[in-house]
Amino acid sequence: MRAEAAFATTRAEGRAALVGYLPAGFPTLADSIKAVDIMIDHGADLIELGLPYSDPVMDGPAIQRAADQALAAGFRTRQVFEVTEAVAGRVPILVMTYWNLVERYGVDRFARDFKAAGGAGLITPDLIPDEAGEWIAASDEHDLDRVFLVAPSSTEERIASTVAACRGFVYAQSVMGVTGARAATSAAAPELVRRTRAHTDLPVGVGLGVRSGDQAAEIAAYGDAVIVGSAIVNCYLDSEDVPAGHQRLAALTADLAAGVRR
């Protein structure tokens, strides 16, 4: 299932999509599968599985800690395909990954194995289209979405060339900074979405900083998708045990899902 399937539904319903992010293998391999099911059960329209990496320069403390925990427990790249296979079918599953892990696995081999597991595509935070020749070829070959990022600092030319390389949706990094839940979302986000729309009909997802249904509703007013990561990870980091984390995640997802439906 590709991203456009989810956006066809949300557009028909006249609302934004809710995208939930969780590192695969966090809080444990089995519980990351369970967590994704919880998110889907409570209204997530797309899922982003993070691939834990030793040097995540885009991520703030919460996602760093989650990735460290998964790696310390022995998480291997290939296990992201197990998680994908276990949760695929109900909503599109994308993997968000730093580029070295894909390059190391083999770009075409990664695309093939991810497609076979039922994956929709990749979000690549440290890969710009200028460096993505091999990935563009592999994603064409295996019919996968490819989501690149635009940022408030992007020039018009770069927004145009970046969205031209995207398939599925465009990821608008709404604040200049790393991932992490923030009390207030960025004022730069609506402007960035407006500038991005001038260059593409693809849905524009807005990420970085969302932690509540109210914030989700705010972003849903101008974005096509609300992307939530650190707040989801915090459900587990802030809980005494995994079952408590699952409960928090269910409540948070329901709140966010209500937010995008306001």
Partner 1 sequence: MPNPDAGGHWGEFGGRFVPEALIAALDELEAAHTAALADPAFMSELDALGREYGNLPSPLYLAERLSEEAGVEVWLKREDLNHTGAHKIRNVLGQALLTRRMGKTRIIAETGAGQHGVASATAAAYFGLECTVYMGEEDTRRQALNVARMRLLGAEVVPVTTGSRTLKDAMNEALREWVASVEHTHYLIGSVGGPHPFPMLVRDYCRGIGDEARAQFLERTGALPDVVAACVGGGSNAMGIFTAFLDDASVKLYGFEAGGDGYGTGRHAATITAGQIGVLHGARTFVLQDEDGQTIESHSISAGLDYPGVGPEHAHLAASGRAAYEPVDDAEAMAALEKLARTEGIICAIESAHGLAGALRLAKSLEPGARVLVNLSGRGDKDMGNVVEYFDFADRKGQQG
Site residues for partner 1 per CB under 8 A: 53-61, 64, 68, 71, 76-77, 98-101, 103-105, 125-128, 130-131, 148-155, 158, 162, 173, 176-178
Strand partners, 49: 22, 95
Q: 59 an active-site residue?
A: yes
Q: 48 an active-site residue?
A: yes
- 163's tokens: 């969205």
Closer residue to partner 1, CB minimum distance, 68 or 214: 68
Closer residue to partner 1, CB minimum distance, 7 or 98: 98
Catalytic residue among 31, 45, 59, 224: 59
Per the CB < 8 A criterion, the answer to whether 6 and 92 are in contact is yes
Closer residue to partner 1, CB minimum distance, 6 or 192: 192
Q: How far is the CB of 70 from partner 1 (least distance, A)?
A: 11
- 199's tokens: 């260059």
Q: How far is the CB of 37 from partner 1 (least distance, A)?
A: 26
Q: How far is the CB of 11 from partner 1 (least distance, A)?
A: 25
Catalytic residue among 48, 145, 218, 224: 48
Give which of 168, 141, 161 is closest to 2, Cα–Cα: 168
Per the CB < 8 A criterion, the answer to whether 30 and 70 are in contact is no
DSSP line for 111-180: HHHHHHTT--EEE-TT--GGG-HHHHHHHHHTT-EEE-EE-TT--HHHHHHHHHH-BS-EEEE-SSS-S-
Q: How far is the CB of 206 from partner 1 (least distance, A)?
A: 14
Closer residue to partner 1, CB minimum distance, 2 or 158: 158
CA 141 to chain centre: 22
Active site residues: 48, 59
